[in-house]
Structure 1
Amino acid sequence: MIERLQELEAEGLAAVRASENKKSLEQVRVQFLGKKGAITEVLRGMGQLSKEERPTVGQKANEVRESIQTAIAEKTRVFEEEELEQRLEKEEIDVTLPGRPVQQGSTHPLTAVVEEIEDIFIGLGFSITEGPEVELDYFNFEMINLPPNHPARDMQDSFYISEDTLLRTQTSPVQARTLQKHQGKGPVRIICPGKVYRRDEDDATHSHQFMQIEGLYVDQNVRMSDLKGIFDTFVKQYFGEDREIRLRPSFFPFTEPSAEIDVTCGICAGEGCRICKFSGWIEVLGSGMVHPRVLELNGFDPEVYSGFAFGMGVERFAMLKYGIDDIRHFYTNDTRFLSQFQHL
């Protein structure tokens, strides 16, 4: 039996050397090392051997198996190196060709608009304050003079997570949180940028998610004229020195008096056109003097302090500035659209 194993070793090594490819090498492995291979057949006859002979035969069988396995592994490595050489010869690379340019991204237009607005208001003495997007009803509504069952809540159909928790419908709760942190002592001069959510139809001018920047200025002797002066300066810096503003009476539960702020149409320069519905003016944001009840709810004495607040949609300001006709362009990740703003 020892002699038979020596013969199988010689035959196996010769078969490995004669193999021409991986397929024939696999056939050699199965023929000699497989479950039904030649070495296994020899080992099945060990039951006929004496106890003294079995260890010697078993040791020799392992040596033969390892010898053939080592030869197969070395031959496999040779075949793989040959395959690599052949592939390298076929796959020619011209190292003198210029490399492919890396396509650089750019600032998203909404981010650019937010940063521009922030820079302007920082220059006017405001600071940037942020708050949570998942908000308590207490801050989102109650602390800005919208108690439960107030009819004005219908204007902001909301995404509620629980009975008292929702995705914020505006950044006003940041104002309420900031006022309470000041514990009744002014001044407070902040703007609050961030995403807000309302259950709204998605069309060219509406989205269930959009960005908003609200502002708040509370101090002693703050007047409506301060609001007008701030926004006259802001509009001229953002849209251009030739633009004018006007204030129209309006209603918001958290301000009294309230006003819509319009800016002269940039297309017709105030003469009247289809874009501005031939009025010469385009509405850009809501504003007003902080309601005394809001001051009182958040710990400020309305007899001592007054202030103004405002809120603007970032998408609206971007659309007006860059002539974008559909709010959905901001959220579709279309590189054809975004590539137009690489200069920002």
Structure 2
Amino acid sequence: MAATGWYPDPGGATGRYRYWDGSRWSAETTDDPTAPPPTASYGSATASSTGPTDPSSRPSALVGQRQKSRTGIVVGALVVLVVLILAVVFTVRAVTDRRDRVLMDPDPPQSSVSGWDDSSPLPTETPTPTQSAEPSDSASPQGLESCPDGDPSRRQNHPADDKRTYGGDLSFPKPAGYDDNAAYTHSMTWAYDTDGVYTSTEPAWASLLAVGYITSADGFKTTKQSADGMMQCIASSGYYSQFTGRKDVFSKKVTVDGHPGWALRSEIRVDNPDLSVEGDVAEVIVVDTGTAGQLSFFGGFVPIGDQPRIRTLDDTIAGLQVG
């Protein structure tokens, strides 16, 4: 049992002393450990019945209270940590479940984006990536935003040859029954260096065969896109002021003297009571001859159902040459 006397306050007060009478602690404290024993009543700051074994030790009851306090803090922290972990787990599980439902949906909603529609005339040309010698003509034709203003009467140098007709980098043999008349080709206002031959098929109607060139600066990018754009410009030109419709017969890759090209044949119909025909069989062939910034073309127009002139058109195309 510890001797009676003043001991450092077991309550932890700095610089304070509490009196031990051999069985319990006093309620009174002092800052002078040499002071006489207190006369006041004893309080609740009691230690074990044996008193402190070391003057600097604290009563076990107070130490226990602090241990319980620390334990409560630790338990509370653990509870908060568990709650946070559970919240994260449930959140991840909810996101995963929602993702799995999206991935495994047997009947997903339909896209609201429609596909490309080529029914509108002359849609905007989409920029193309770096092109090879023959650009990507396998894609759907994209036409032109509008028919550009060229200069069909602007001529290049061509051989003096009365048996062939020249325009751009192309030429064709003049068929029997057709006369030279470049004026008919001047209605191709989107083109350059045009020349052609024609023959009347009935009053106010004629068959025309022509060549010339078009430019990339005017929006003619690939042979296929240019063939489609030219056909649209032709159908909307003064050639067919009473235009009612166009039906494509074929659209295909071709070569002319080893140069890549695209051929588009269409039936262009008009509503003209003064004519005996419904309109024209029209064919446009665009060829990439390698001349920078331009494509050369052939255009042929003969009446629908006129088999002799359709054969003349086919023979002229067979005789088409570069140069």
Determine which structure has greater relative contact order: mean sequence separation of CA pairs < 8 Å that are 6+ residues apart, divided by chain length.
Answer: 1
Scaled by the length of structure 2, the TM-score of the pair is 0.29
Larger Rg: 2
Greater fraction of residues in strand:
2
What TM-score, normalized to structure 1?
A: 0.28
